[in-house]
Amino acid sequence: MLYCTLKSKITSQLAISKMFFTNSLENQLQQWNDTIKSQPNNANAYIRRGMVYFKLANIEVSIQDFDQAEKLDPNITPYLWQRGLSYYYAERFTEGAKQFERDLTVNAQDVEETVWRYLCIARLSGVIEARNTLLSVKNDPRKIMEAIYNLFAGHCTTDDVLNVGKLAGLKGKFYSHLYLGLYYEAENNLQLAQEYIVKAADEYKIDDYMWYLAVVHKQLRQWS
């Protein structure tokens, strides 16, 4: 009886939390709708609204906003990493890989760009091809990203990534679990992919776009 009551309370709390989460994003969406209505040529407003659509798991509409931002300001193309992520979840992997390649021309020290390119190529051609064509990235100042890069390059173990993540606090734990989940999904080990991504989303919440990505990933895969 006590277990059932406790489980019911936890379920209720999660439902309330999800409701506030959705309402907050809907409020943000309305704010950007209003901004775009008054400033229809504001490329940044389209990017920000596209990011909100992505957080709401409305992937195709997010891409439409990123595309509109690019039409308004073609110079932002190599900075549209958000569109690359949306391409991945829209299963437009060729376009995703190209977006991340463009991003690396202006941000060559970002491990995440090359890892997401890897993930796109893995879905297109398999992990061997993805690893063989992994682009070199050096000097990312984040120790956890160095470990994640080495994992995808085949130079360290999953335990190594977890250990580095523990030393980096909450953000380190989040990123280690997110990218281990993505790594295992590319390897088609869906059980471990689910375990790590669900943990990243549920236990290591951080104020970061990538945390929302973990939540969206979990939602789209219907994992709990």
Distance (Å, rounded) from C-alpha 66 to C-alpha 83? 6
What's this model's pTM, rounded to 2 decimal places? Answer: 0.89
Distance (Å, rounded) from C-alpha 87 to C-alpha 186? 16
- Per-residue pLDDT tens over the stretch 166-223: 999 999 999 999 999 999 999 999 999 999 999 999 999 999 999 999 999 999 999 9
Give the amino acid at 146: E
CA distances from 209 to 51, 62, 78, 212, 213 (A): 8, 14, 18, 5, 6
What confidence score (pLDDT) does residue 19 get? Answer: 52
Contact of 60 with 90, CB cutoff 8 Å: yes
What confidence score (pLDDT) does residue 23 get? Answer: 79
**Local confidence pLDDT in tens for the 224 residues of the chain:** 544 444 444 444 444 455 546 679 999 999 999 999 999 999 999 999 999 999 999 999 999 999 999 999 999 999 999 999 999 999 999 999 999 999 999 998 899 999 999 999 999 999 999 999 999 988 888 999 999 999 999 999 999 999 999 999 999 999 999 999 999 999 999 999 999 999 999 999 999 999 999 999 999 999 98
What SS3 state is found at 188? Answer: coil
